[in-house]
Amino acid sequence: MIPVRININTEWREILVEPGERLIDTLRDRFLLTGTKEGCGEGQCGTCTINFNGKAVLSCLMLTVQADNGHILTIEGLQDGLDLHPLQTAFLTESAVQCGYCTPGMIMAGHALIKDHPEPDDSLVKHCLANNLCRCTGYEKPIQAILKAATEMKEKSHD
């Protein structure tokens, strides 16, 4: 067992893990953060996308030991009390959600993108979502939602 210290949704956690434990399993099984989904286990579907040190990564393709001393943000860490994050609101108002299984991963991919690119364009958002499969509603609405959230977040930061 290997001691690992990770900051998950702003809280430092110290755990002992097997070297082969995947980050997705740590989040879901140990911390019951089941908003992060597993859809394939091979990095292709994107439902397990989280933010690691501010970047979008696939938590099924990371060992928990690789996340030592890192900062993790999951979909559960996005909300501020009862208030939804602008990305969450935009996914609702733009009808970007159907079954909802891909939604947390898409939102987290969008979150990392907006952090690095506060004014993304359509093409950039398209590329940002290339690792997030959706089977229900296509990609137009999620792309619109991320663009809308980016605009709102920018306006908010100017207030």
Partner 1 sequence: MRNTPDIKEFHRPKTVTEAIGLLSQQDNGTVLIAGGTDLLPRRQSGRTGVTKNKLVDISGLGLNYIRETQDAFLIGAATDINTLASSPVFKTSPYTAIIEAALAHSTLTLRNRATLGGNLCNASPHADLALPLLVLDAVLVMEGPHGQKTINLDNFFIGPHCTVLEPSEILTEIRIPRMPEKSGANFIKLTRQHTAIDMAVVNAATCLSIKNGICISARIALGSVGPHPFRAKKAEAFMENKTLVKNTLQTAALFQEAAGLAAKEASPIDDIRATAAYRKEMIPVLLQQSLGKSLERSLS
Partner 2 sequence: MTEPLTHIGKSFQRIDGVDKVTGRARFAPDLRFDHMLHAGLIRSPHAHARVLRIDTASALQLPGVKAVSTIFEVPKVIQYWFFLRTEKKKKEIFLYDDIVRFIGDPVLAIAAVDEKTLEHALSLVRVDYEPLAAIHDPEKALTETGVCLHKKGNIAFRVEKAFGNVEQGFKAADIIVENTYHTSKQKHASLEPIATCIANFESSGKLTVHSSTQLPHWSQHYLAEIMGLPLNRVRVIKPFTGGAFGGRCGLIHGLEAMCSVLSKKTLRPVRMSFSREEDFCATESRHPMIIRMKTGVSRDGVLVANEAEILSDTGAYGTHYIGVLADCLSTGVGLYAIPNYKFSGTAVYTNTSMAGALRGYGNPQMNFAQESQMDILADKLGMDPLALRVKNYRKAGEMDPVLNERILSNGLEECLEKGAAASGWEEKRSRKLQPEFISDGSIKKSPIKKGIGLSIMLHGTGAARALPDPGSAFLMINSDGTVNLHTAAADEGQGSRTVLAQVAAEILGVEFESISVSETDTDITPLDCGTHGSRQAYCGGLTVRDAALDAKKKMLTHAGNVLKVKPDALKIEKGLIFETAHPANAISIKDLMQRLQIQDMGLCTQIMGSASGIAPAMPGYYGAVFAEVEVNTETGEIKVVKLTSAFDVGKAINPEMVKGQIVGGGVMGIGFALTEGLIRKDGHILNPGFTDYRLLRSCDAPPVEAIIVESNEPTGPFGAKGIGEGCMVNVASAIANAVFHATGVRLTNLCMTPEAVLKGLKP
C-beta neighbour count of 46 within 10 angstroms:
24
Please report whether residue 121 would count as binding partner 2 according to CB under 8 A.
no
Which 17-36 residues touch partner 2, going by CB under 8 A? Answer: 28, 32-36
Task: For partner 1, give the closer residue by CB, 56 or 145.
Answer: 56
Which regions of 53-156 does DSSP assign to beta strands (E)? 55-58, 71-73
For 84, residues 6+ apart whose C-beta sits below 8 A from its C-beta are: 92
Least separation in angstroms between CB 134 and partner 2? 7
* DSSP conformation letters of 39-78: S-SSSSS-TTEEEETTEEEEGGGSBGGGGTT-EEE-GGGT
Write the binding mask 73 to 112 for partner 1: x where contact by CB under 8 A, - elsewhere.
------------------------------------x---
Closest distance between partner 2 and the C-beta of residue 109, in Å?
10
Opening angle at CA 111, ends 110 and 115, nearest 5: 115
Give least dist CB 65 to partner 1, A. 5
Ramachandran bin of 45, using left for φ above 0, alpha for ψ from -120 to 50, beta for the remaining angles: alpha
Dihedral, CA of residue 120, residue 85, residue 116 and residue 132, to nearest 10 = -70
Return residues touching partner 2 (CB under 8 A): 28, 32-42, 44-45, 47, 74-76, 78-79, 84, 88-89, 91-93, 95, 97-104, 107, 125-127, 129-143
Return residues touching partner 1 (CB under 8 A): 2, 18-22, 25, 40-44, 46, 49, 52, 55-58, 60-63, 65-66, 68, 109, 113, 127-128, 130-132
